[in-house]
Amino acid sequence: MSILSVLQWLAATQWSIALHESVYVWPLLESLHVLCLGLFVGTAVMLDLRLLGVATTHIPASAFTQRLLPWTRRAFVIMVVTGLLLFTATPVTYYNNLSFRLKLILMVAAGFNVWFFHARTRRRVADWDSAVTPPAAARMAAIVSLTAWAGVVIAGRLIAYEDSPTHLLTRISPWIFPAFESAHLLGLCALGGTLLIIDLRMLGLGLTSQPLAALATGVDPWLRRSLALMVSTGLLLFASEGGRVLHTPAFWVKIATLPLAVVYTFTVRRRVASQSLDTSRLTRLTATVSLVLWFTVAAAGRWIGFSS
């Protein structure tokens, strides 16, 4: 029995049909999948930037791997589980999709890179833990990780456009709109990582050995850059399909929440982070509000794609 025949049988099952035709379950699964992708890739990006010696160089590399690794693992598990459920909804379509196959190959490459780093390079972390520029092996692992996970995000986004490119930008070129949307998603991933590192610290989790104010200062430039990428590509995406999204409730939820989240991040959250030396009720409340606001922005943005 071939793989395709097994997938055709799976696609004909009551479970697969019900999941694919569900009005709410399938969109909810994909939204959760994308949100966990953002958290997982975002924290991985911050570790890779540290290994390259271009961000948060005052933090030992081991602090990232020891304190953030449990959170990246949880996000990865949820991402894989929701991805498998999404695959069972339309298995034949995914199987025949070139971008999906490329995504799987890149995930395997990224996974091997993670294994090699922890099995070999990280064993000698005591020799270079606090070095501003880690050794070549660690930097190479970071480059491979950044390349592979960026490829996973882009390939995953291109799955939806392989057969039916649409919108104004894709009338000019079938790749422009998917490219902008991929860049938008990459910006979201990077933003999620920078936000999560600080919010977890404010909740008394993650990089608790690092002073909150210094950690916030080190992450701030990358927060600004990722936010600028997300907003600029978002404006281009809106320009190409404004007539459709203006009639979706999810768009207005995002538009109402995004300015509030941005203002809150650069006023209240920044002030609390710069003045708080340790976790307190105020810092925990500030982080909770930040997570709720940005989660709403991300969830509403993903839900736009499912609104008619």
DSSP of the chain: --HHHHHHHHHTSHHHHHHHH-SSHHHHHHHHHHHHHHHHHHHHHHHHHHHHTSS-TTS-HHHHHHHHHHHHHHHHHHHHHHHHHHHHHSHHHHHT-HHHHHHHHHHHHHHHHHHHHHHTGGGGHHHHTT-SS--HHHHHHHHHHHHHHHHHHHHHHHGGGSS---HHHHHH-TTHHHHHHHHHHHHHHHHHHHHHHHHHHHTT-SSTTS-HHHHHHHHHHHHHHHHHHHHHHHHHHHHHHHHHHTT-HHHHHHHHHHHHHHHHIIIIIHHHHHH-SS--HHHHHHHHHHHHHHHHHHHHHHHHTT--
Cα–Cα distance measured from residue 223 to residue 229, given in angstroms and rounded to the nearest whole number: 10
Asked if 134 and 185 sit in the same domain, the reply is no
Lowest-pLDDT range, 30-44, 46-60, 137-151, 243-257?
243-257
Share of the chain above pLDDT 70, in %: 90
Mean pLDDT of 188-194: 85
Q: Give the residue, 4 or 297, on which the prediction is more confident.
A: 297
Residues 85 and 109 in one domain: yes
User: Do 113 and 212 belong to one domain?
Assistant: no
Last residue of a domain, one of 164, 194, 216: 164
Residue that finishes a domain, picked among 164, 188, 216:
164
Q: Give the residue from 178, 9, 11 showing the smallest Cα distance to 93.
A: 11
Q: Tell which of 164, 198, 218 closes a domain.
A: 164
Enclosing domain of residue 279: 168-308
Structure tokens at 143: 């480059």
Number of structural domains (the chain) is 2
Question: 144 and 183 share a domain?
Answer: no
Handedness of CA 242, 244, 249, 254 (dihedral sign): negative
Residues 111 and 39 reside in one and the same domain: yes
User: For the segment 56-78, what is each residue's pLDDT rounded down to a tens digit?
Assistant: 778 888 887 777 778 888 888 88
Q: Provide φ and ψ at 133, rounded to 5°.
A: -115, 105
Indicate if the pLDDT at residue 17 is higher than 70. Answer: yes
**Cα-flanking dihedrals φ and ψ of residue 39, to 5°?**
-65, -45
Q: Are residues 177 and 138 in the same domain?
A: no
Looking at residue 278, what is its pLDDT?
67
> Could you tell me if 181 and 197 lie in one domain?
yes
Angle at 206 between CA 204 and CA 209, to 5 degrees: 75
Q: How far apart are CA 149 and CA 103, in angstroms?
A: 9
Q: Are residues 138 and 260 in the same domain?
A: no
Residue range 215-239, pLDDT digits in tens:
888 888 888 988 888 888 887 777 6
Is there a contact between 33 and 79 (Cβ–Cβ < 8 Å)?
yes
Q: Is the pLDDT of residue 168 over 50?
A: no
Nearest-10 crossing angle of helices 14-21, 61-89: 110
- What pLDDT, on the 0 to 100 scale, is given for residue 126? 77
For residues 183-221, one letter each, b for 16 or more C-beta atoms within 10 angstroms of the residue's C-beta and e for the rest, the string is bbbbbbbbbbbbbbbbbbbbbebbbeebebeebbebbbe
Residues 6+ positions from 136 with CB-CB distance below 8 Å: none
Q: One-letter amino acid identity for 265?
A: T
Determine the Cα–Cα distance for residues 68 and 70; give it in Å rounded to an integer. Answer: 6
